[in-house]
Each structure stands twice: as C-alpha cells, then as structure tokens.
Amino acid sequence: MTAKTRKPLILISNDDGITAPGIATLVRVMRRIGEVVVVAPNSPQSGMGHAITIGSSLRLDPSTAFPGLEAYECSGTPADCVKLAKHHVLKDRHPDLVVSGINHGSNASVNVLYSGTMSAAIEAAIEGLPAIGFSLCEYGHDADFSHVEEWIEHIVRQALENGIPAGTALNVNIPKKSAHEIKGVRLCRQARAKWEEKFDLRYDPYKRPYYWLIGSFVNLDQGEDTDEWALAHNYISIVPCQFDLTAQHGLSEMNENWTLSLKPEKAGKAKKS
C-alpha cells in the first residue's frame, strides 16, 4: 500500500474504561476513517486529571472488547494509556491522530482541568501527536450517543485534512440528544466558571464519619464566544487547549511590578527609595 492510499492510524483511549458505551461509539466511527488501535483503562478513571502512575506497577493486557481490532486494557490512568501506547504498543508506528472519549458528561470550562478524557488528549499533544477529546453532555451510563456519530466523523476528517496546531489538543463537547437538532459547530474559548463545592458529612453503618463531595456548577461568564454559551444554545463547542499553563498577563504584570533581579536586601532598599 502506498503512502497516498494508507489509511490514517488512529489511537483511541478514554477515562470511563474500555467497556464504556462512549468508547464503543468512538471506535465504531473511527473504523470508518482509518486503522484503529485502542489502549484504554481497565476500570473507570473519571476525574483523575493528568495523574500518572509512579508508585506502583502498570499492567497492560490484550482486550477482546472490540473483535478484529488491536486493543489493550491498562491498569493505569488515561495519561498512562497514551504513554504506554506510544512507547510500547505502537513503538515505531506514528499515529496520525489520538482521540479520547466519548466521555459521559461535559468537560467544558474548568472541567477540562479535572478530566481524564482530556488528559489523554493533552498527553498526546505533549508527545507531539495531534489529539482530540470528545465529551457528551449526558452523564448516565445509558447515555444516547446516536446523534453524535456524523458530527464526530466530520470533525475528525477536518482534523486529518487540515491539521491541528502543534502543542494543541481540541476539547470537543457535544450537547445531549434533545427535541432540537444540533445547530452546528463553534470554535470557542473556555468559559470562566467554577464549582461551588461542599463536603457532605455522612456516617457508615459503624457510625464512622466520612465525607462526600457535592456542589453546583456556576457559570460566571456571559460571553457569547464561550463553550458554555455554545452548549446552552445547542452548538458543539471546540476549544483548542494547550499544556503550557503560563499566564502571559500575569508574567507581564509581575515583570512590571516585582523586583527580582537584585539580591533580597538590595531589592528591599530599592523599594524604600
């Protein structure tokens, strides 16, 4: 097979585990596009962020979850899965794209920081691989993915044809199925939002106290160019994300106001004068 006719090599991972309905949908769509390899956690890893396994062993076992595909289940985190896939499973094969998901639940706004789905995509970007994380804004295990396939295929084909900027992973969130059809796709910025959290004190059958994290999501951003606005108005949101967390505005402000080039005692005198 020549380079012109070679199917793109697509690596798939997720954070809900290799048996989740979301990854099954993603695999089905990617098989229409290219050669697929799956490396995913053997159990749910939601909310793991960009954790990696350094204090215990990692296990990687062949999986029969997807007949006819090269697939593996990993005992580690989503980031571990991508690392093992690149350095051990694929070895000298270079994936044309890494896709993660489809996550059960939104990863828009600040949720991207906690997301195992996006950590797999961002780990790929760190490794120099183009990557996309897909999430559906419906949390149930029985979430309906029937309306997402054509949109995901469209976005992935666009990424393969036009490329993804270096050092960037795309955070794609899709509205849940409703009576209204999806209006389209919007490139967005991440909304300024947060979780207002509480820890609910509870007691086990032996009267020992424990805590359960609860809270509500609060959108503090009224902009119409954000991922939260797009999702609320039935658009798919795409936010280009980077692993360079440097706050450029903070860097400029601190360079202007802080005195760090002098020794501490000289800096103090400079401030007084």
Q: Tell me the pLDDT tens digit for each residue of 156-214.
A: 999 999 999 999 999 999 999 886 889 999 999 999 888 888 899 999 999 999 999 88
Mean pLDDT within 110-119: 92
> Which structure tokens are listed for 10?
């697509």
Give the confidence band of 215 by pLDDT, cuts at 50, 70, 90.
confident
**Which are the contacts of 92, defined by CB distance < 8 A and separation ≥ 6?**
none
Mean pLDDT within 42-60: 88
Residue 43: C-alpha distances to residues 40, 128, 129 (Å) = 9, 27, 25
Sketch out the chain's domains with CATH numbers: 9-194+223-272 (3.40.1210.10)
Give the confidence band of 67 by pLDDT, cuts at 50, 70, 90.
very high
